[in-house]
Each structure stands twice: as C-alpha cells, then as structure tokens.
Amino acid sequence: MSVQTRPRRLTTRDIGAKKRNGEKIAMLTAYDHVTAGLLDQAGIDVLLVGDSLGNVVLGYETTLPVTLADMSRHAAAVQRGSSQALVVCDLPFGTATDPETALRSAVMLLQETGVQAVKIEGGASAAPIVARLVQQGIAVMAHIGLTPQSVHQLGGYYRHGKDEDQARDLIAAAKALQEAGAFAIVLEFLVPELAAKITAQLDIPTIGIGSGPDCAGQVLVINDLIGLSIQPPPSFAKPKADIAAIVREAAAAYIAEVKAPAEETP
C-alpha cells in the first residue's frame, strides 16, 4: 500500500528565491474553493484573494465596500481549495489605517482562514504598518502605484510614474517597504520603464499588473484572464478564453430545451 505525501505549499522564501534564480512568478486572484483548486492544479505560484472581489463577485463599483468579513469568508474558501500555492489575502479598505488596527485585522484573517500572508496598499506611509506586522511574524505583500482603495483620493484610474517627482516617490516608497520587511511588492499600472527600474533596484520580487513585462512576476484578476465578465477587461489584460460566451450559450440552450413543447407520445 503506497503512502501519498501531501504536496508542499510554496512559502515566501520560495517566492523570493524565484526572483534570485531568474524565474518569473505567476499570480492570479481567486475568490472561491473550485477556482482555487483549478488554478492550484495548473501550477500557479501565488493565489491572491483580492478585494477586487467587490467588483467581480459582489457587483460594487469600487473595492471600498468590501469588509474584513467578506475577505475572511472568501480567503478561507481559497485556502481550503488549494494545497500548493502561497495564498495572500488583501486587507480591505479601513482595516489597515494604522499599525495596531492592521495588526488586529491581519491576526483575525490568519487565524480564521489559514492564509500565509496579507497584502496592504500604500506608499512610504505604509512602511510602519508593514514593519509592525512583520515584527509580529506576519508575512506582508505591499502594493504601490494605482491603489484601488484610494481611487477617490487619486481621482480615478490612470498610469502612475509619468513625471520625475512621482517616479522618485514611487522608487522611495518601494525601498521603504522593502526595508520594512515586505516580502514582495505589487506594482499596479506603473510606467513600464519605471517598473523595470524599481524591479532592478529591489532584492524582493515585484509583481506587475499593467506595468510591463520586466517585473519579477505578473498578476491578473482571474475573471479578466478567462473572459468571465459582463464588462470589457482592462486594456492590459488579454483574455485566454471566453467563458462568458460559453455560459451564455449553455444557458440559452437549457432555456430553449425547458421551454420547448413536449413531444407527443403515440
């Protein structure tokens, strides 16, 4: 009788080693048990339980209404559905406003879900928050550039790092977050040349989204990747499938079958 060994889950050390070894890091969002399992079977490195679930799952216009309870419920499902990928969960809007609030939020998430790390949006001002969590043994992924939780303060969704002052601030922020102990940094919608420069200057991996090909890894919202949406994908996303069309066709066939007149029996 053979004994099956449980596959080892990737760790933050493994993710860091991939950058040092020149291996690109693949990350996708997941919000449910089945999707997490399928992506895990495909060999994804990192699963992000993003607060983007507010847009693609819950139907909100922004991520701001997403609560810690929402994140906990979905993160627990993703954790249960995966066995090999590193699972990272967003701390949603208002739950990481200062080091102690963020610590309470992160502790709750880790205890309730079993995920391995949390993600925090924010520039250099978020460094003390990252440092506090890392001090308590919590792995943190940072996130700079376009930060959706700050959409109203930013004035919309647009590419970041176009002028010298903004580029300098983003480089400084990335270095401060690395110094605070972040194990990786998401660079969202940065000028590609700036994203490449930040990636070269950091020891930790950068994970790009709409920031060009030179980051240490890439992340996409799973719905954008597979074409499962009722809205067009962002300009930087290139869907690999059209699941929405398949769903519509299957539903239409089912509806027609149900509504068809019953065949008369002789």
Instruction: Report domain extents, the chain.
Output: 12-241
**pTM for the predicted model, two decimal places:** 0.94
- Give me the catalytic one of 23, 188, 257, 263: 188
Is 214 annotated in a binding site? The answer is no
Instruction: Check if the beta carbon of residue 73 is closer than 8 Å to that of residue 33.
Output: no
The predicted pLDDT at position 1 comes to 43
pLDDT score, position 153? 80
Q: 122 near 148, Cβ under 8 Å?
A: no
Q: List Cβ neighbours of 74 (8 Å cut-off, separation of 6 or more).
A: 31, 32, 49, 53, 57
- Topology of domain 12-241 in CATH is TIM Barrel (3.20.20)
**How many C-beta neighbours within 10 Å does residue 42 have?**
10
Cβ neighbors of 255 (< 8 A, separation 6 or more) are none
Q: Give the position of tokens 């001002």.
A: 125
Q: Cα(43)–Cα(18) distance, rounded to whole angstroms?
A: 14
Is 188 catalytic? The answer is yes
Q: What tens-digit pLDDT sequence spans the chain (266 residues)?
A: 444 566 799 999 999 999 999 999 999 999 999 999 999 999 999 999 999 999 999 999 999 999 999 999 999 999 999 999 999 999 999 999 999 999 999 999 999 999 999 999 999 999 999 999 999 999 999 999 988 888 778 777 778 889 999 999 999 999 999 999 999 999 999 999 999 999 999 999 999 999 999 999 999 999 999 999 988 888 888 999 999 999 999 999 999 999 998 765 55
Can you give the three-state secondary structure of 75-130, one letter per residue? HHHHHHHCCCCEEEEECCCCCCCCHHHHHHHHHHHHHHHCCCEEEEECCHHHHHHH
Does 90 count as an annotated binding residue? yes
Beta bridge mates, 184: 141
CA distance 102 to 145: 20
What is the spatial distance between Cα 63 and Cα 53, in angstroms, rounded to a whole number? 8
18 labeled binding residue: no
